[in-house]
Amino acid sequence: MNQKKQTGAPMSDKPLPEKLRRRYKVNTVEEMWHKALTEGNTRLRRWRRFTGSLPSNPRCVNCHRPFAGIGGGLFRIFMGIKKSTKNPRYCADCHSFTTQFPGGAEIELTMLFVDVRGSTAIAEKMNNTAFSYLMNRFYEATINVLVRADAFIDKLVGDEVTALFIPGFAGANHAHKAVEAGRELLRVTGYGKPGGSWVPIGVGVHTGTAWVGSIVGASGAGADFTALGDNVNIAARLASKAGAGEVLISDAAYNAARMEDKDLEKRDLELKGKSESVRVRVLHAR
């Protein structure tokens, strides 16, 4: 057996079936991933917006098909589509595709990390049921914002959500969409409102180059889609430095988004593992 198939490593030069060659107008898996991530597919973008408008969460992080509520029931009944049993973050169709055609490409994208500030201290002051309700409300509000912004929701881990604004999904203005999503996250969690926020969050937004794609485990049975590289780490560390009610936007993201907010506070941050400070702009709720 081929060693690549044994280890589950990406077979980027694998020829594509005729149906996918016609759809993407490419010949190999490597070419397909690069085109899908950088240019995308108009039909797929429209489909994601449609499925993202249907109730309700949780939903496939790739195609936004809902698993629950009326929308999830309709997909199960009429299309036979349901949650993957091997990776519950995906529908069975999307998981099958990423497992069958692992690979990716190095692209420029914008990354957004949002987390609950001081979640350990909050949990100490609440019973388990109340804290679970708070976190579920945070996840629900965050997912709804990110789905509407055409983001790919990378991970929901503990008190943090990470999202990728990929050109092929979000379009050429991915940085602008990420910044506006950060602003909207502050709004939906109550910042800028008379009653104040119902959960303290901090957001980091950064634009840069990373490897994005599908990784298959050694067994070949499970696949996941993610972004890897130094710029991903920068985005995560910006979120960890953000105070409650702040969106920290790196200069790279600020410039790529062509923001009109010219009077934003500037900070130079020392980030773990970086020899030079990183300049950011600080966005607060309006």
Q: Which pLDDT tens digit goes with each residue over 159-199?
A: 999 999 999 999 999 999 999 999 999 999 999 898 899 99
- Per the prediction, the chain carries an average pLDDT of 88
pLDDT in tens, 24-37: 888 888 888 999 99
Per-residue confidence (pLDDT) for residue 241, from 0 to 100: 95
| Kind and range of the H or E run holding 109 | strand 103-116
Q: What is the pLDDT of residue 40?
A: 87
Q: Are the C-beta atoms of 266 and 279 separated by less than 8 Å? A: yes
Q: Is the pLDDT of residue 122 over 50?
A: yes
Q: Which of 10-14, 22-26, 102-106, 214-218 has the highest mean pLDDT?
A: 102-106
Cis peptide before 56 (omega within 30 of 0): yes
Give the pLDDT confidence score for residue 7 in this predicted structure.
Answer: 37
* pLDDT above 90: residue 225: no
With a cut of 50, say whether residue 8 has pLDDT above it.
no
Give me the domains of the chain, ranges plus CATH numbers: 103-283 (3.30.70.1230)
Is residue 66 within 8 A of residue 54, CB to CB? The reply is yes
- CA 86, CA 92: separation in Å to the nearest integer? 8
What pairing do the DSSP bridges indicate for beta strands 103-116 and 160-165? antiparallel
Q: What is the pLDDT of residue 14?
A: 73
Average pLDDT over residues 87-114: 90
pLDDT for res 5:
39
Give the model's confidence band at 230: pLDDT under 50 very low, under 70 low, under 90 confident, else very high.
very high
Element (H or E) spanning 103, and its range? strand 103-116
Q: Which amino acid is at 51?
A: T
Whole-number pLDDT of residue 191: 95
Q: pLDDT per residue over 51-77, tens digit each?
A: 988 888 888 888 898 988 888 888 888
Q: How confident is the model at residue 222 (pLDDT cuts 50, 70, 90)?
A: low
Whether the predicted pLDDT of 94 surpasses 90: no
Whole-model pTM: value is 0.88
With beta carbons less than 8 A apart as the criterion, state whether 36 and 25 touch.
Answer: no
